[in-house]
Amino acid sequence: MQMSYAIRCAFYQLLLAALMLVAMLQLLYLSLLSGLHGQEEQDQYFEFFPPSPRSVDQVKTQLRTALASGGVLDASGDYRVYRGLLKTTMEPSDVILATHASVDNLLHLSGLLERWEGPLSVSVFAATKEEAQLATVLAYALSSHCPDMRARVAMHLVCPSRYEAAVPDPREPGEFALLRSCQEVFDKLARVAQPGINYALGTNVSYPNNLLRNLAREGANYALVIDVDMVPSEGLWRGLREMLDQSNQWGGTALVVPAFEIRRARRMPMNKNELVQLYQVGEVRPFYYGLCTPCQAPTNYSRWVNLPEESLLRPAYVVPWQDPWEPFYVAGGKVPTFDERFRQYGFNRISQACELHVAGFDFEVLNEGFLVHKGFKEALKFHPQKEAENQHNKILYRQFKQELKAKYPNSPRRC
């Protein structure tokens, strides 16, 4: 009898242990299922509500730190460089939009931020002490009121070496202290600025365009270097990311983004269909059409506008480089820097495209993406000093091509 009772007790204990084990396994399963579901919900949440950018205080601390460093002199000793007034983060495969501007032309940043969804880097040139102060105040105001600036924009400052930029005094930022929104900052800038051509500053200081370009694309793997008064087609960043993520075959390739210019009174086209319609009636034309037709002609605009419409961005055709083609392009890897001896106007981009060709890069034109410059480019009359610099650059370019022979002795390519 006692044996039978002991057996029943052991049986019930075993049954209870089995039930507890089943219950624990069910709880573990539900916990894992809940975790997976929660992760899916979190992924969906962050798809529509990305994590908050760095705080205003963090960005202002970065600005103060960069300015307090006193900057560093460039290789020539003529310019003082302040890196990282504002900073951004990006993935190794990301594409950064790199541009440069005088202080007055910073108002174009608003349009670039609307069209370009990825990281953006801008190098600002302040030709005078007053402009350097305005640039720091602007960086302070933009970082305070513009979440996109805090999240996606890197900003660097360059000024003549005899000047030093100062940390803005919060008690004395002028009328910018009264502003309360990002739009108000850009509206105020539009009222006080005198936008024009970067290299027509009206001062005795040369605009260091290639120094600014190098600074803006510094640290980026893939970069699209453009002028600040150009606007990319809608979705260009996303299309480039998808194309680059799908394949690693683009090393040694310059992906050319066709560039156009539009009458100032027209609305900027968003997609290729809108652009082609304006192109056909003469409201849009190839970039530099009135200044230097050969500088963009190899892009083959007639072929490009007649390509069949496609949903995915991809290279459409290969174009052999020829002097003086200076395309706008996306490239990664060991991309030659812009030669900083070229300043002001003339041969500054052609020289870099020439070296890209000699270094072995091939040029492939993209099928859908494009850039549009605000306004038709027209011939300008420069101050005699500026014209002299243009002639200097012409002579320097001939010298530069000879230097490439020594730099790339095994390359069969020449400019």
Nearest to 224 by CA among 325, 298, 318, 335: 335
Parse the chain into domains and list their residue ranges. Answer: 54-228, 231-414
* Lowest model confidence (mean pLDDT) among 14-23, 146-155, 157-166, 250-259: 14-23
> Which amino acid appears at position 72 of this protein?
V
* Dihedral sign computed on CA atoms, order 33, 35, 39, 45: positive
Q: How high is the pLDDT of residue 246?
A: 86
Predicted confidence at residue 140, as pLDDT, reads: 87
Tell me, what's the pLDDT at 52? Answer: 45
**Block residue for tokens 């200076």:** 326
Given a contact cutoff of 8 angstroms between Cβ atoms, the answer to whether 357 and 302 are in contact is no
Question: What confidence score (pLDDT) does residue 46 get?
Answer: 33
**Both structure tokens of 402:** 């000879």
Q: With bands split at pLDDT 50, 70 and 90, how would you rate the model's confidence at 42?
A: very low
* Mean pLDDT of all residues belonging to the chain: 85
Q: Any residues with CB less than 8 A from the CB of 236 and at least 6 apart, and which?
A: 115, 116, 257, 313, 369, 370
The single-letter DSSP state of residue 69 is T
Closest CA to 364 of 266, 253, 267, 206: 253
For tokens 């460089």, name the residue: 81
pLDDT digits (tens, 9 = 90+) for 95-131: 999 999 999 999 999 999 999 999 999 999 999 998 9
Regarding predicted confidence, which is higher, 395 or 13?
395
pLDDT for the residue 276: 97
User: Strands, E, within 43-117: which ranges?
Assistant: 72-73, 79-86, 95-102
Report the relative pairing of strands 222-225 and 315-318 from DSSP bridges: unpaired
Report d(CA 185, CA 198) in Å as an integer.
21
| Under 8 Å between Cβ of 410 and 360 | no
Is pLDDT at 82 greater than 70 in this prediction? Answer: yes
Residue 404 CB: number of other CB atoms within 10 A? 20
Q: DSSP labels for 343-365?
A: -SSSSHHHHHHHHHHHTT-EEEE
